Amino acid sequence: MIGGTGITSFGKFLESGVRPLAEQAVTEALKDAAVEVDDVGMIFFGNAAGGLLTGQECVRGQVALRHSGLLGKPIVNVENACASSSTAFQLAHMAVASGATEIALAIGAEKMSNDDRTKPIKALESAADLDELTNLQQRISPDGTGTGSVFMDLYASVARDYMDKSGATAEDFAQVSVKQRHAGALNPIAQFRADVDVEEVLTSRMIADPITLMMCSSIGDGAAALVVMSAEAAAKRDIQPVEILACEIRSGQGDDPEARPVATAASHAAFEAAGLGPEDLSVVELHDAAAPAEYILSEQLGLCRPGDAISLLRSGRTSLGGAMPINPSGGLISKGHPIGATGAAQLVELADQLRGRAGSRQTEGARIGLAENGGGWIGNDAATATVTLLASTARN
């Protein structure tokens, strides 16, 4: 069960460090779950690139939580690229499900904004196999030199491939950003809180053809935390818990052209564990590091048939007010993408939706939510993906 959640605003907070962000998210989550510090048995702290971004290595969780009252308890530091905090959540879920503890904390926190703009770019590059970085750049860049951001070049290359296969246009990608920015405008913690139109997206600065600035997720800072507890612990408290139906993590096999995409493998495992299918979903949070990812992942997750993702968006089904909103938080494009916090933030959004407290972004009658959080790149696929299925406990 998720007993409580906490989240900071996402944005560029040059004067703030990881510690105050993590402390705020943890304090909110514990209060929301009616849990005291002494009740927590284990802590899993997700942070992707603190060593490269802030210089803090090895004991990131212990340092960030130094003044929280949690020292003395088991603190496990978790690093798994952009999937760091969804991996922390999966470990917290395993700890509770195994009986190792009744209550665990999963935290994601990242401080990416920096006076030196090259630092976050270099940190993101480290989520690929550095031994193949030059070859990767030459493969994905039309002229072999690239823009200076390997992952933006990678997203652009994937987008061009998708355009060739599906007939998608840059305007189709812009429509994703318009949808995400509208949702973000209604989310009080989002980094970008203004509606945009297709023309604004298309005419924003070109990053890597066909991806423009407003089609990209942004570097930022933030933290999110979730209290994971047993059903027995939840029953002792006056709270509205959210049921964890499945949480599956897989690594990509990007060197094998016959392998399923890692997002597909993880989602199939999660659906099988929960005894559900894509048709059962009420709301989805997926890893839209760039706008084309919504189409690609919608197909890989089985939310629509291959080639139908553009029609799915045009139908209105995946917009706010639709039958299955995708990224009602605003997604990474609008909410922001402090990489180590992203997975936990997706789960906070789903928990809010399933508890009926997402305000003007609320999905009416939300019963089942799916979060997909990818990370890194190996060969021709993400290095890892976590897929989590959650359910409202008020659904029966």
Query: Is 58 among the residues known to form the active site?
Result: no
| Rounded Cα–Cα distance for residues 248 and 387 (Å) | 5
Angle, helix 150-166 to helix 118-125, in steps of 10 degrees: 60
Tokens of 176: 């994703």
Contact 287, 252 (CB under 8 A): no
* Catalytic site residue from 93, 182, 287, 337: 337
Contact 10, 112 (CB under 8 A): no
| Rounded Cα–Cα distance for residues 341 and 50 (Å) | 12
DSSP 117: T
Query: Is 67 among the residues known to form the active site?
Result: no
φ/ψ of residue 282, rounded to 5: -100, -30
Q: Which helix (H) or strand (E) holds 18?
A: helix 18-32
Neighbour tally for 77: CB within 10 Å: 20
Per DSSP (E only), the strands in the chain are: 2-7, 42-46, 75-78, 103-111, 206-208, 211-212, 221-229, 242-251, 283-285, 368-375, 384-392
Tokens of 326: 């995708």
| Rounded Cα–Cα distance for residues 249 and 269 (Å) | 9
| Rounded Cα–Cα distance for residues 276 and 302 (Å) | 12
DSSP 7: E
**3-class secondary-structure state, position 264:** helix
Alpha helices, DSSP H only, in 133-189?
133-140, 150-166, 170-185
User: How many residues would you count in the chain?
Assistant: 396
381 conformational bin, left if phi > 0, alpha if psi -120 to 50, beta if neither: beta
| Rounded Cα–Cα distance for residues 72 and 89 (Å) | 20
| Rounded Cα–Cα distance for residues 248 and 384 (Å) | 11
* Catalytic site residue from 58, 82, 268, 304: 82
Catalytic residues: 82, 337
